[in-house]
RNA sequence: GGGGGUGUAGCUUAGUGGAUAGAGCAGCGGUUUUCUAAACCGAAGGUCGUGGGUUCGACUCCCACCUCCCCCA
């Protein structure tokens, strides 16, 4: 019999199948198999309890009936009834060995996971900065969480389009173009700090429009000219955008992020007429106080609170562009799912968008598409308020990264002075950026979290350095043994010690964690798992010597090390974190 | 005013209706002639914001209230 990748799923299916032909069980029964605490076993089926209650049967007797009928292969599973009617399932050392031999490397894990989201065409919209501005700490979470999510989906078999929806068509361009012209600023010259300078110009321009009504008028004129396609303003706008894109790329390179599709809001500006036409003809939109809006009568709030798709002055807005974007994604990518990764303040907007798109697509007979808003909380400073620099500006990502790398470098230089300068630099970069990234991903995305250099760069606790250290130690074992991971396992004897079994147990739970992480697109579940795995490995490492006299013992421990390393590296890769062989 | 989020140990936090609420930091006590001690082991620390309710079982679901954050007018 082939070894199941997702053991909990396999057991669930098996329980269900057996129960369906069993007296005492009927339609409402679900076995509810899930990982449990080590002291109870590997998995626990809780479903008998509520079912017995519902059908007025004795839960323990019912559990016994089910257990008798299961006929699980005893060399692989042991099961027993506990407490009021839980069924605890344990795995045998032989099963662990079989599973670990089957799912031996990243390709095998991916193969196992690939059916989870097979056939799903999903567009993930993340990062999405505005041009003419530098990326700052407010852009961190969307980029980091979005990247992790798209990697997870891809790993699990989805056909993913990574879409960076750039804010390149805002009203800020009126002021900016005015300021550029006033200052005689030449975009064709070399500007090492271009975006900083544009930001300064924009700031000065904004102030000017506040002080001087003539300037405000001028800014409006520049915007109108741009929107009408004035050659000079278009050229300025294009230049600003292309230079902004270059700056974004340098950040993406640091964070190892790339996109399949990079389109600005401007791309959709000739596509909004169709939106108006279709929403009007399907009677989803209506005029309200001069604006074109969509109400959702079935919704407690959006029955009254309008989704404004054309303002009373005729201007389009985010809603219009987002609707056009949804249509484009449906038609260009045949998307069945669209994911937007933004902060939680936009929940209303995306809920209205979702409702509108669902009704609109249905009315037009388009293929239905699931819109998901993956939102996240705020990054707080140590004072408990949204993080800022001392002067009150958001922290630039560029500066955040240099500080992270610099801080990591200091630690590396102190802890591992024997490494070459190049090695220290490389380690500092991976540890620094990995730390920032992991700090963000390891917490529930819907919570706000407190940013702390000390905590994220600490080598204790649920941090990137701790996980990276575990991978470095694993590499060291193989280096010392003169083997590659995966080699030297043939003579493996049966897992024996408590720490070996604990490690094996954790390793086979990887698929359950993938499933959990994917369900709500919450990467912190994967982080918690990797942290726990590292902890169990560290205990094992401390208790059980790998390179040892007995060939059978050494072989089986090498196998555990190779799988732990593979799981850690695969998991970290899914989070977008680069791993190390030494640190 | 309406809505959303949040509240768990001194601090930062995890927790899928399931058994005795888990971690990490800080503080306390141990472990190294042994594959990286950036580690490991142990003890201590909790009326899970408050009050009700549903349930065999509630940090988890429902209702009310309170705190802080945010969104919409």
pLDDT tier at A287, thresholds 50, 70, 90: very high
Residues 307-336 of A with CB under 7 A from strand B: none
Q: What is the residue whose two structure tokens read 């019999």? A: A1
* pLDDT in the model for residue A129: 95
Cβ distance A16 to A31 under 8 Å? yes
Long-range contacts of range A27-35, CB-CB < 8 Å, 24 or more positions apart? A28/A54, A28/A55, A33/A8, A33/A9, A33/A89, A34/A8, A34/A512, A35/A8, A35/A509, A35/A512
Residue A97 lies in a domain: no
Cα dihedral: A230, A236, A238, A244 (round 10): -150
Nucleotide nearest to A582 (CA to C1'): B36
pLDDT tier at A165, thresholds 50, 70, 90: very high
Mean pLDDT of the A489-517 span: 96
Residue A545 lies in a domain: yes
What pLDDT digit, counting tens, does each position of A423-474 carry?
999 999 999 999 999 999 999 999 999 999 989 998 889 999 999 999 999 9
Q: What is the CATH number of the domain that holds A538?
A: 1.10.730.10
Pair (A315, A434) in one structural domain = no
Contacts of A463 (CB under 8 A, 6+ apart): A435, A438, A439, A442, A455, A456, A457
Pairing of strands A291-294, A307-310: antiparallel
Q: SS3 of A363, please?
A: helix
Pair (A50, A154) in one structural domain = no
* pLDDT in the model for residue A444: 93
Pair (A63, A200) in one structural domain = no
Q: What is the residue whose two structure tokens read 């080699």? A: A487
pLDDT tier at A517, thresholds 50, 70, 90: very high
Residue A469 lies in a domain: yes
* pLDDT in the model for residue A1: 64
Pair (A224, A285) in one structural domain = no
Q: What is the CATH number of the domain that holds A25?
A: 3.30.1360.70
Residues 404-423 of A with CB under 7 A from strand B: 411-412, 415-416
Q: SS3 of A121, please?
A: strand
Question: Is any atom of nucleic acid chain B found less than 7 Å from the CB of residue A425?
Answer: no
Residue A26 lies in a domain: yes
Q: List chain B nucleotides near protein: any atom < 7 Å from a Cβ.
A: 2-7, 12-19, 23-26, 34-41, 55-57, 68-72
Q: State yes or no: ipTM above 0.85.
A: yes
- In whole angstroms, how large is the CA radius of gyration of chain A? 28
Residue A115 lies in a domain: no
pLDDT tier at A385, thresholds 50, 70, 90: confident
Question: Is any atom of nucleic acid chain B found less than 7 Å from the CB of residue A51?
Answer: no
User: CA A16, C1' B53: Å apart?
Assistant: 34
Pairing of strands A261-264, A159-166: parallel
Encoding tokens for residue A271? 């596509």
Of A263, A298, A315, which one is at a domain's C-terminal end?
A263
User: CA A377, C1' B7: Å apart?
Assistant: 15
Q: What is the residue whose two structure tokens read 């562009």? A: A321
Closest CA to A248 of A148, A146, A162, A166: A166
**Which residue would you say has higher pLDDT here, A1 or A488?**
A488
List C-alpha distances in Å: A301 to A222, A298, A371, A468: 38, 9, 19, 47
Question: Is any atom of nucleic acid chain B found less than 7 Å from the CB of residue A462?
Answer: yes
* pLDDT in the model for residue A451: 92
* pLDDT in the model for residue A488: 96
pLDDT tier at A389, thresholds 50, 70, 90: confident
DSSP class of residue A349?
Answer: H
Pair (A508, A549) in one structural domain = yes
Question: Is any atom of nucleic acid chain B found less than 7 Å from the CB of residue A381?
Answer: no
- The residue segments making up the domain with residue A55 are 7-91
Contacts of A243 (CB under 8 A, 6+ apart): A187, A194, A195
Pair (A343, A446) in one structural domain = no
Nucleotide nearest to A515 (CA to C1'): B16
Question: Is any atom of nucleic acid chain B found less than 7 Å from the CB of residue A347?
Answer: yes
Of A228, A245, A263, which one is at a domain's C-terminal end?
A263
Question: Is any atom of nucleic acid chain B found less than 7 Å from the CB of residue A58?
Answer: no
Mean pLDDT of the A57-61 span: 92
Number of domains in chain A: 4
What angle do helix axes A551-575 and A421-441 make, rounded to 10 degrees? 70
Nucleotide nearest to A40 (CA to C1'): B19
Sheet architecture: strand order including A77-82: A33-35, A43-45, A86-91, A77-82
Contacts of A456 (CB under 8 A, 6+ apart): A435, A436, A438, A439, A463, A464
Cβ distance A136 to A177 under 8 Å? no
Cβ distance A431 to A471 under 8 Å? no
Q: What is the CATH number of the domain that holds A317?
A: 3.40.50.620
* pLDDT in the model for residue A539: 96
HSE-up of residue A363 (Cα within 13 Å, Cβ side): 16
Of A67, A91, A115, which one is at a domain's C-terminal end?
A91
What pLDDT digit, counting tens, does each position of A73-125 carry?
999 999 999 988 999 999 999 999 999 999 999 999 999 999 999 999 999 99
Pair (A421, A513) in one structural domain = yes
Pair (A270, A157) in one structural domain = yes
Pair (A350, A302) in one structural domain = yes
Strand stretches in A53-169, DSSP E: 77-82, 86-91, 121-125, 159-166
Residue A122 lies in a domain: no
Q: What is the residue whose two structure tokens read 């007995």? A: A550
**Which residue would you say has higher pLDDT here, A10 or A1?**
A10
Nucleotide nearest to A49 (CA to C1'): B56
Residue A108 lies in a domain: no
User: CA A300, C1' B2: Å apart?
Assistant: 10
Mean pLDDT of chain A: 94
Contacts of A8 (CB under 8 A, 6+ apart): A33, A34, A35, A43, A511, A512, A515
Pair (A552, A448) in one structural domain = yes
User: CA A461, C1' B30: Å apart?
Assistant: 20
Closest CA to A427 of A406, A400, A399: A406
Pair (A259, A346) in one structural domain = no
Mean pLDDT of the A211-230 span: 93
Pair (A441, A532) in one structural domain = yes
Greatest pairwise CA separation for chain A in angstroms: 87
Residue A309 lies in a domain: yes
């Amino acid at each position: 019999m082939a070894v199941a990748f997702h053991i909990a799923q396999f057991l669930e299916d098996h329980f269900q199948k057996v129960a369906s032909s069993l007296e005492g069980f009927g339609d409402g029964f679900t076995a509810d198999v899930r990982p449990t605490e080590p002291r109870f076993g590997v998995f626990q089926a809780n479903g008998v309890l509520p079912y017995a209650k519902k059908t007025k049967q004795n839960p323990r007797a019912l559990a016994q009936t089910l257990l008798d009928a299961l006929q699980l292969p005893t060399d692989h599973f042991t099961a027993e009834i506990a407490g009021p009617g839980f069924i605890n399932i344990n795995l045998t050392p032989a099963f662990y060995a079989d599973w670990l031999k089957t799912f031996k490397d990243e390709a095998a894990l991916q193969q196992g996971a690939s059916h989870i989201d097979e056939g799903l065409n999903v567009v993930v919209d993340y990062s999405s900065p505005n041009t003419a501005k530098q990326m700052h700490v407010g852009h961190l979470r969307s980029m980091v969480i979005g990247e992790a999510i798209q990697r997870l989906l891809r790993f699990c078999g989805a056909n993913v389009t990574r879409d960076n929806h750039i804010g390149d068509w805002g009203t800020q361009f009126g002021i900016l173009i005015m300021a550029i012209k006033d200052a005689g600023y030449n975009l064709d010259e070399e500007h090492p700090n271009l975006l900083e300078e544009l930001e300064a110009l924009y700031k000065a321009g904004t102030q000017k429009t506040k002080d001087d009504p003539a300037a405000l008028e001028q800014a409006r004129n520049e915007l109108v000219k741009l929107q009408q396609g004035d050659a000079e303003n278009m050229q300025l706008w294009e230049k600003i955008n292309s230079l902004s894109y270059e700056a974004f790329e340098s950040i993406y390179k640091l964070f190892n992020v790339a996109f399949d599709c990079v389109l600005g809001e401007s791309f959709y500006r000739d596509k909004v007429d169709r939106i108006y036409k279709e929403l009007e003809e399907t009677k989803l939109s209506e005029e309200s106080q001069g604006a074109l809006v969509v109400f959702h009568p079935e919704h407690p709030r959006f029955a009254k609170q309008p989704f404004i798709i054309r303002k009373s002055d005729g201007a389009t807005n985010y809603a219009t562009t987002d609707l056009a974007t949804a249509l484009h994604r449906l038609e260009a990518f045949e998307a069945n799912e669209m994911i937007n990764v933004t902060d939680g303040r936009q929940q209303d907007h995306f809920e209205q968008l979702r409702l509108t798109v669902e009704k609109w697509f249905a009315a037009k007979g388009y293929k239905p598409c699931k819109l998901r808003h993956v939102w996240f909380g705020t990054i707080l400073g140590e004072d408990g308020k949204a993080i800022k620099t001392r002067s009150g500006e958001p922290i630039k990502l560029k500066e955040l990264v240099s500080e992270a790398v610099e801080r990591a470098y200091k630690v590396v230089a102190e802890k591992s002075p024997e490494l070459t300068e190049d090695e220290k630099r490389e380690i500092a970069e991976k540890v620094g950026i990995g730390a920032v990234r992991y700090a963000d991903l390891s917490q529930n995305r819907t919570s706000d979290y407190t940013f702390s250099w000390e905590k994220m760069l600490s080598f204790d606790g649920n941090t990137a350095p701790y996980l990276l250290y575990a991978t470095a130690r694993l590499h060291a074992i193989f280096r010392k043994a003169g083997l590659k991971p995966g080699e030297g396992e043939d003579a493996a004897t049966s897992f024996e010690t408590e720490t070996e079994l604990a490690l094996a147990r954790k390793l086979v739970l990887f698929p359950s964690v993938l499933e959990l992480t994917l369900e709500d697109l919450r990467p912190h579940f994967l982080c918690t798992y990797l942290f726990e795995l590292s902890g169990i490995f560290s205990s094992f490492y401390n208790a059980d010597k790998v390179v040892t006299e007995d060939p059978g013992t050494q072989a089986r421990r090498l196998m555990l090390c190779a799988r732990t390393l593979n799981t850690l590296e695969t998991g970290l890769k899914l989070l977008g974190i680069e791993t190390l062989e030494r640190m």
